[in-house]
Chains A and B, each alone.
Chain A
Amino acid sequence: MPAVQETVDRVRRIDVDQYRYGFETLIESEKAPKGLSEDIVRFISEKKNEPAWMLEWRLEAYRRWLTMTEPTWARVNYPKIDYQDLYYYAAPKPKKTLSSIDEIDPEILKTYEKLGIPLREVAILEGVEPPPGGEPSEQRKIAVDAVFDSVSVATTFQKELKKAGVIFMPISEAIREHPELVRKYLGSVVPTSDNFFATLNSAVFSDGSFVYVPPGVRCPMELSTYFRINERNTGQFERTLIIADKGSYVSYLEGCTAPQRDENQLHAAVVELVALDDAEIKYSTVQNWYPGNSEGKGGIYNFVTKRGDCRGNHSKISWTQVETGSAITWKYPSCILRGDNSRGEFYSIAISNGYQQVDSGTKMLHLGKNTSSRIISKGIAAGKSQNTYRGLVTAHRKATGARNYTACDSLLIGDKCGAHTVPYVEAKNSSATFEHEATTSKISEDVLFYCTQRGLSQEEAVGLVVNGFVKDVLQQLPMEFAVEAQKLISISLEGSVG
Chain B
Amino acid sequence: MALLEVKDLQVRVEDREILHGLSLTVNDGEVHAIMGPNGSGKSTLSHVIAGKPGYEVTGGQILFRGEDLLEMEPDERAAKGVFLAFQYPVEIPGVTTMNFLRTALNAQRKARGESELLVPDFLKKVRSVAAGLNIPQDMLKRGVNVGFSGGEKKRNEILQMALFEPSLCILDEMDSGLDIDALRIAADGVNALRSPERAMVVITHYQRLLNYIVPDYVHVMAKGRVVKSGGKELALQLEESGYAQFEDAA
Contacts and interface: CB of A to CB of B under 8 A. Distances in A.
Interface in A117-176: none
B104 interface: yes
Interface in A1-41: 1-3, 6
Contacts of A452: 51, 73-75, 78
A74 to B, nearest CB: 29
B249 interface: no
B103 A456 contact: yes
Contact of A469 (B83, B89, B94): B94
B57 interface: no
Contacts of B92: 447, 450-451, 464-465, 468
Interface stretch (B2-10, B105-113, B127-135, B221-229): B105-113
B73 A464 contact: no
A1 B54 contact: yes
A457 interface: yes
B73 to A, nearest CB: 7
Q: Taking each of B73, B86, B95, which has the highest tally of chain A beta carbons within 10 Å of its own beta carbon? A: B95
Given A2-B53, A468-B143, A453 B93 contact: no
A3 B108 contact: no
Given A446-B90, A449-B74, A468-B143, A454 B160 contact: yes
Interface in B29-62: 50-54
Contacts of B183: none
Contacts of A93: none
A194 interface: no
Q: Taking each of A1, A453, A470, which has the highest tally of chain B beta carbons within 10 Å of its own beta carbon? A: A453
A320 to B, nearest CB: 17
Interface residues of A, number: 27
A103 interface: no
A455 B107 contact: yes
Given A449-B74, A450-B90, A455 B54 contact: no
A471 interface: yes
A105 interface: no
Contact of A455 (B52, B53, B75, B94): B75
The number of chain B residues touching the other chain, given as a range, is 20 to 34
Given A460-B107, A464-B100, A464-B103, A455 B93 contact: no
Contacts of A472: 94
A445 interface: yes
Interface string B225-248: 000000000000000000000000
A468 B111 contact: no
A234 to B, nearest CB: 40
B115 to A, nearest CB: 15
A183 B111 CA distance: 62
B190 interface: no
B146 to A, nearest CB: 10
B18 to A, nearest CB: 16
B75 A467 contact: no
Nearest to B93: A468
Interface string A435-451: 00000000011110111
A469 B53 CA distance: 24
B134 to A, nearest CB: 22
Contact of B79 (A2, A455, A458, A460): A455
Contacts of B54: 1-3, 445
B186 interface: no
A450 B105 contact: no
B164 interface: yes
A3 B105 CA distance: 24
B94 A467 contact: yes
Contacts of A464: 92, 95, 100, 103
Interface string B128-156: 00000000000000010000000000000
Nearest to A471: B94
B218 interface: no
Nearest to A452: B74
B111 A455 contact: yes
Contacts of A470: 94
Contacts of B89: 450
Interface in B182-199: none
Contacts of A446: 88, 90
A455 B95 contact: no
A117 B79 CA distance: 39
Nearest to A460: B107
Contacts of A454: 78, 100, 104, 107-108, 160, 164
A368 B26 CA distance: 72
Contacts of B52: 449, 453
Given A464-B100, A468-B143, A457 B93 contact: no
B84 interface: yes
Q: Taking each of A444, A460, A472, which has the highest tally of chain B beta carbons within 10 Å of its own beta carbon? A: A460
Contacts of A467: 94-95
A348 to B, nearest CB: 16
A467 B93 CA distance: 10
A372 B88 CA distance: 41
Given A447-B90, A468-B143, A469-B94, A453 B84 contact: yes
18 contacts: A1-B54, A2-B53, A446-B88, A447-B90, A450-B90, A451-B92, A452-B78, A453-B52, A453-B74, A453-B78, A453-B86, A455-B104, A455-B164, A456-B75, A465-B92, A467-B94, A468-B94, A468-B95
Given A460-B103, A468-B93, 5 more contacts: A449-B52, A449-B74, A454-B164, A456-B104, A468-B95
The 3 closest A-B pairs by CB, nearest first: A468-B94, A468-B95, A455-B108
